[in-house]
Amino acid sequence: MMAILSNLAIAIGLQIVLLTVRLVSNRRRIPLIPVRLPSVAIWLWLILSSLPDSLVVLRLRPWLASALLLSQSYAALQLLVWCTLEVPSSLAWWPRPPKILRDLGMLLVAAVITVIVLQEQAKINVVGLVTTSAILTAVIGLAAQESLKDLFAGIVLQVDSPFQEGDFISAGNGIEGWVVSLTLMSTRLQHVHGALITMPNSKMWSTEIRRFGPRGPIAREIHLNLDLDLPPEKATTVLTQVARANPLVLSDPEPTAFVYAYADHAITYELEVWQEDPTDNGFDVLRGQLLAQIWYALERAGRTLPYPVRELRPKARPAAIDDPAGYDLPSRLDLLRQNVLFTHLSSGQLEKIAPLTRCLRYAVGESIIVEDDRGDALFQLVRGSVEVIKRMGDGSTKTVAQLGVGAIFGEMSVFSDLPRSASVRALQECVLLEVERDDLRPVLEGNPRLVEELALLVSERRAQLTSLSQEVRQAQTNQLIDQMLKIFSTLTGGNPDVRPG
């Protein structure tokens, strides 16, 4: 009984050591120590060493001893490979050997151990049995035919290296994914939907393979039809601008657009962009976003997507709307009355501005304002919501605010001629009232006092967002008034250095 308890304590201690080393290697981010086969060897040793000799049949003892010795030998071989190859290579002590060579070496050593153990312990001459039996040799050869194909294909794949672990490959017949491992007999892929695909190496070698990096980049081509009367130069400009503003599109290589073909009712364009995600799902998401954003961009430009129409009689068309988003003049006038920047304007002055404004629609994810760009328009949020994004010192971006209906942004660039201080992106489909700097011409012409009143109002709005002393606020207000008088000097027709008394 004491011997059994002693063996049990040894087995538990060895198991704890294995688990502790595995936990430490996981935290140190080095290859995990093999646990399964050493654990089998430990507990098999405990069971066999605890069995009384009276319970073991005499003829079974060589087989049990062989099984124990084989399990211990295989476990020792795994631990030796882990100590001498995997751990040092992960610590950059010496180069990592090719996985195929390591597996082949382990297979050969395990085969030699198996032959020796069976011959010495079980008294079985395995080599003689195989070589002297022609029928057994033929059976083994036929059974191993496909396995040998996979084995040699795995060796060729390792030597030729058409792909590496981590690459994204497409092997035809809808089989694609990231390469998880390349073993002696098979290649394992992680599908985009999460499934693990195991492909025999012989099929991988005989199949046409398209290889991409783990994160691309990969070129995407999108074809779409635009109006025949839309100049190609303007059309390609709209397409590339939409692509550049999409966060899924890489800036290097840059997006390109060109005329692809002439259709009977439209001009077909090809938009070529690059993205990181090499999967078809990634392309579906990107294509959907770009097509939606192109629709909104065309609507803001007063254009629509063409479609073939054949009529046998004239078709009644709706009356034209003077605003891309469908907001007529009275609606835009009501929106101007709600704008806090124009509280000093009379109804007559607002009626002069309203026909020059327009309402624009933006898709989810579209950039309305880009930080550091020059801007000559301010926006009033009519429907939807937007986020304000600021670029940090380390190059990253941070969302600093979210704005809802009624919010006004972009006025500082209009009245101070400074670059945009932050980016604004649509969180939902948005409708914005756009008021450009030139739209204010009818009311600012010959009216420098109104310019100063606007400057005071804008300065007060800015002061509400910051904690500044009264002296700093006054200095900023005076500076803003001077800037606005200079900007609108051509409108007021006066001397920009002369301020109203």
Q: What is the distance between the alpha carbons of residues 494 and 489, in angstroms, rounded to a whole number?
A: 6
Name the 3-class secondary structure at 266. Answer: coil
Q: Strand pairing of 267-275 and 358-362?
A: unpaired
Q: Is the distance from CB of 265 to CB of 308 less than 8 angstroms? A: yes
Q: What is the pLDDT of residue 377?
A: 92
Cα–Cα distance measured from residue 415 to residue 407, given in angstroms and rounded to the nearest whole number: 17
pLDDT, tens digit, for every residue of 408-454?
Answer: 898 888 877 788 889 999 999 999 999 998 888 778 776 777 777 77
Residues of the chain within CATH 2.30.30.60 domain(s) are 159-212
pLDDT for residue 222: 95
pLDDT at 494: 45
Q: Are 389 and 420 in contact (CB under 8 A)?
A: no
| DSSP per position, 155-199 | HHHHHH-S--TT-EEE-STT-EEEEEEE-SSEEEEE-TTSPEEEE
E strand residue ranges, 67-167: none
* Three-state secondary-structure class, residue 57: coil
Whole-number Å distance between alpha carbons of 196 and 177? 9
* Per-residue pLDDT, 279: 85
Q: Are 341 and 454 in contact (CB under 8 A)?
A: yes
pLDDT band at 363 (very low <50, low <70, confident <90, very high): very high
pLDDT digits (tens, 9 = 90+) for 338-361: 988 888 888 888 999 999 999 999
Nearest to 293 by CA among 234, 362, 347: 362
**Cα 397 from Cα 412, distance rounded (Å):** 21
Distance CA 417, CA 412 (A): 7
pLDDT digits (tens, 9 = 90+) for 258-280: 999 998 889 999 999 999 988 88
Other Cβ atoms less than 10 A from the Cβ of 279: the count is 20
Domain ranges in the chain with CATH number 2.60.120.10? 325-436
* C-alpha atoms less than 13 angstroms from C-alpha of 169 in its C-beta half-sphere: 24
> What is the pLDDT at residue 498?
42
Helical H runs in 266-410?
Answer: 280-300, 329-338, 347-353
pLDDT band at 466 (very low <50, low <70, confident <90, very high): low
Q: What is the DSSP letter of 493?
A: -
- Whole-structure pTM over 0.85, yes or no? no
Q: Scanning the structure block, which residue is given the tokens 């140190």? A: 28
For 2-32, write each residue's pLDDT tens digit. 777 887 888 888 888 888 888 888 777 788 8
Torsion of CA 249, 251, 253, 255, to 10 degrees: 60
Q: How is residue 458 written in tokens? A: 């804008």
CA 481 to mean position of chain CA atoms: 45
Determine the CATH number of domain 218-300. Answer: 3.30.70.100
Count CB atoms within 10 A of the CB of residue 208.
7
DSSP, collapsed to helix, strand or coil, labels residue 260 as strand
The CATH class that applies to domain 159-212 reads mainly beta
DSSP state of 149: H
Angle between helices 36-50 and 61-81 (to 10 degrees): 150
Backbone angles phi, psi at 430, to 5 degrees: -115, 150
Write the class of the CATH domain 325-436: mainly beta
CA-to-CA distance for 152 and 475, rounded, in angstroms? 80
The answer, yes or no, to whether residue 325 has pLDDT greater than 90, is no
pLDDT tier at 488, thresholds 50, 70, 90: low
Please compute, for residue 299, the number of CA atoms within 13 A of its CA located in the half-sphere on the CB side: 18
Which pLDDT score is estimated for 390? 92
Q: What does the pLDDT read at residue 54?
A: 64
For CATH 3.30.70.100, the residue range(s) in the chain are 218-300
Alpha-carbon gap, residue 404 to 426, rounded angstroms: 11
pLDDT for the residue 322:
63
Mean pLDDT of 175-201: 83
d(CA 95, CA 97): 6
